[in-house]
Chains A and B, each alone.
Chain A
Amino acid sequence: MGDRTTGSASRYWQLMRLMASGHMQRVDRPEAKAFFEYRIYPAQAEVQPSNEESLTLSDQAIQKQAWSVVQDPNDGDRTVALSSLRCFVSYGVVQVCRQLVAQFGAEHGFALEDLLPYVLDDHGEPLHPDKLEQHYLALSIQILQSFDPNRASLSTWVSRRVKRHPELNRFLLQQGVYLVSDWAILNDTNSAQLQRILTEFHGLSQHEIIQSLSLLQNYHNVYRRDRLQQVAERQVGRSGACLPPTTEQLQRIADANHSTIIQTPEQVLYDLRNLAALLRQYRIHVRGGSLPTESLDQPESPALSVSHSESESESTSNEFLTQFRQQFVESLDEAIAEVVSDRLKVLTRRKKGDPDGFLKGLHLFHCDGMSMAEVADVLELKAQYQVTRLLKLKDFRADVRHGALVRLGDRLRMLAATFASPDQVHQADAQIEAALSDQVDALMTTAEAEASSSRPCPMTNLFAQRLCRHLQTRSKES
């Protein structure tokens, strides 16, 4: 990424450490600071002596220098140089976690303290670079061991390694956030897709495309086949994550390559990662346009505009209207009863299902007017996301609507066969939604919907009214 001004040189002598209390602390490493002052700083100052007052140190230059000290078997400062780089890595680890919390934490219910235990495990004991194998390796050491300054900057490398950390990924998946691995993407891409994407999206040369196709084919024959075999024999880890290919697998992939150039496993790994990166860019491009952006706890409602024309209601027979409205409410009540009971059945037979929590959550949200976050508190769920998954209000409401429509059709002696046109059916569905939501469903801009957890009072619409009635009857009966 070219030269950068150091954000703060203290990152090279302060270790971000997770204390036994669970809190993070910045711990000074005097030996790393001394190393920085007598080795790094003078060397860097020498390179650009002209303007000492505003000396800018590039991370790249610092890391390169420190790294060369670590690598030099004859250098007496190897341990402290490593120490200094470990400090830098610890900052990077924390930074990646902070980004995740900023992006998803609020909605998916996790904080920095939840993430750090997985990845911030360097306690700072001095370690000699030649004797690492004798110790439990903290993630920061693993990161530095696999670091190649010629391929990526250290901060990029830290970011990639942390984001791909299996245990961290597992935790985040439970919170409803996931990162697809390179290996999953490569598994799920076939030759025709790869050819099209490299040609049309990336504009690669014919030669590059042929090479890539052959690499993918060889990867499939080795990794994908092994994966399928492992799943069939139940040898995949709990998390289900696709782990990086082993050296042995990489060797088999390299051996399958009939070209004259002999590739090392490392080279194959590097090429595969590059190929995955190309597919990832395409994936982001495709998903960028079509991702649902609905808010999590707001049941979707089509915004029907009120027609300001002369009301036709006067011309319709009032008697029929009354009758029809009664039919409508009855259909609605039946649909609510059925959908609630179906949901309870599903939750009862599911291992992690919580039928009582479901009923309680429905009541708190619709009848007591609590927000999803408040419901989470009462149900002792950690995150609003978990409540959202438990209640699935949007699904619930759609099922009730459909049930009401089907019943209404029956009641009005219009059998299902009369619903001949898909467009009309969807129109009817939208109108039922409008009737349920009493037109007080608010129209919100996306930005405001995300920023605010507020919502209209659930007590006021027909849907909530009938649902609460049903829930009350149910609790009286039981």
Chain B
Amino acid sequence: MMSSISSPNPFEAFESDDDLHWDALPVDSVELSAEQLTLAAQVAQAVTANEGDRQWQAYLLALAVSGFASWLGDRAPELGSNLSSRPDEAFLLQHLRSSPHADVVTQLQVGDFRVCLLAMGSLTDEVITLPSAVLRDTDSAAHFYVLVDVLEEQQQTRIHGYFRHDQWQQWQENSATSQSPAIHIDDEAKQCTVPLEHFTTEGDRLLLDLRVLSPSAIPLSTGVEQETASNAASDSSPAASSLDSLLKQLQTVADRTLNAASWIRNQLDEVAADLSWSLMPELVPVTTGLRSGAIANNNFETQGAISDVFQDLRSSGLEMPTSVQGAYRDLRWGKAAIRLHALVWDIPSPEPEWTLLLVLSAMPDHTLPTGLTLIVQDQDEVLAEREVVEEDEDGSVYAQVIGFQQEMFWVTIDFGNGAIATLPPFAFNPQL
């Protein structure tokens, strides 16, 4: 009699969407202890005895101070602060009392900076309201305005984001022309609202600013002080130009090239050494045509792969030198474990050329993943592109390019699953 009622999954009929939205706790949340909560509640009651409405905000702020202090103590103990990593009752009382404005805690000192703390409860609002005095009055203004998420119920806090005083000034200047949600100043209520999206939501960036910037980089007033500071920041100042050169140097570290020419001298250039390249023994692609004899040094693990490639190249008519140098490095992504060999030889001629031969094989005990692609390009275009197909799994794929000595090549390995590895460019510079 019941056979007419059927459904493959008896659970389907239950409703799933009922607005109860679970959240994952961010990894960088700071847990508060029961003692910290109790202390915050007591302090809030003490400083706002006759103002019921303000009590809760004072409580959240006290928790924000505790959370911020723990975070700073854990992450940046080297930065001096008037905050200990566990602010005590006296400290909290003093700062909540002395703060002229109920919504914020001012007068926090971190390094040479003044920090103003704001607390956001579990609601998550799209605008943050703060008293305009803490932005406008030079005496109460801060270098950093830090918004702390306070999950009172979960006993967790987290740095939500921050903005700097110079950014605020910028927004004000731009507010007439900008299309984005603007900061809003209510003169009557003496309040200012800042859209949540204006906050830089990266605690690490705040730390970087605190660690590295000098206070003069963030002018707090519109007077003389600022003029001096902006001079300091202008491009013509010696400080700025030395920073500029530091940036350039960093760029060369990041963008450095591999000098394949040094491999021929059996030396690993410094960049390659840093990047885990290993020199290969000298290879001698003898012309007997016998595969087993194709490589002089038979200790080398991947000789089979290389030897196949030499065979292939020779049968295509390419002239091979008597000896070839190269280096290799291993790359992993998930289950893919591959070895990239880069072999070089120069081609003497009136205008010297060089050859870069890239051979991709699997690391021992692995197979070459199908769909992986080896791409070689010069500064204008893709010169060679080779995708691994099923037959290649136990062998290798290769790409060979020839260029003049001042030319460089960029090698990219597309793992075919969204991962792309770009190697520093290969150059050939016998003079270095």
Contacts and interface: CB of A to CB of B under 8 A. Distances in A.
Interface stretch (A114-122, A141-149, A305-313, A356-364): A305-313
A408 B421 CA distance: 28
Interface stretch (B89-97, B207-215, B352-360): B207-215
B255 A187 contact: no
Contact of A308 (B21, B164, B379): B379
A234 B33 CA distance: 12
Contact of B208 (A312, A314, A425, A460): A425
A211 interface: no
A11 B253 CA distance: 65
Nearest to A57: B5
A284 B19 contact: yes
A100 B216 contact: no
Nearest to A41: B1
A241 B153 CA distance: 5
B423 interface: yes
Nearest to A37: B1
Contacts of A241: 153
A409 interface: yes
A7 B11 contact: yes
Contacts of A179: 20-23
Contacts of B256: 313
A34 interface: no
A422 interface: yes
Interface string A168-187: 00001100111111011101
Given A311-B425, A419-B217, A414 B419 contact: no
A28 to B, nearest CB: 13
A193 B248 CA distance: 48
Interface residues of A, number: 156
Main secondary structure of the interface of A (DSSP, over half): helix
Contact of B212 (A180, A307, A425): A425
B18 A156 contact: yes
B332 A438 contact: no
A432 B23 contact: no
A459 interface: yes
B244 to A, nearest CB: 8
A48 interface: no
B11 A94 contact: yes
B27 A392 contact: yes
A177 B379 CA distance: 48
B84 to A, nearest CB: 13
A215 B131 CA distance: 27
Interface string B339-360: 0000000000000000000000
B24 A108 contact: yes
A124 B25 CA distance: 36
B331 A316 contact: no
B42 interface: yes
Interface stretch (A66-74, A244-252, A261-269, A275-283): A275-283
Interface string B149-168: 01111110000000010100
Contacts of B23: 177-180, 287
| Residue from A158, A192, A225, A422 having most chain B Cβ neighbours under 10 A | A422
A233 B41 CA distance: 9
A92 interface: yes
A439 B252 contact: no
B284 to A, nearest CB: 29
B254 A454 contact: no
Interface string B108-147: 0000000000000111111001000000000000000000
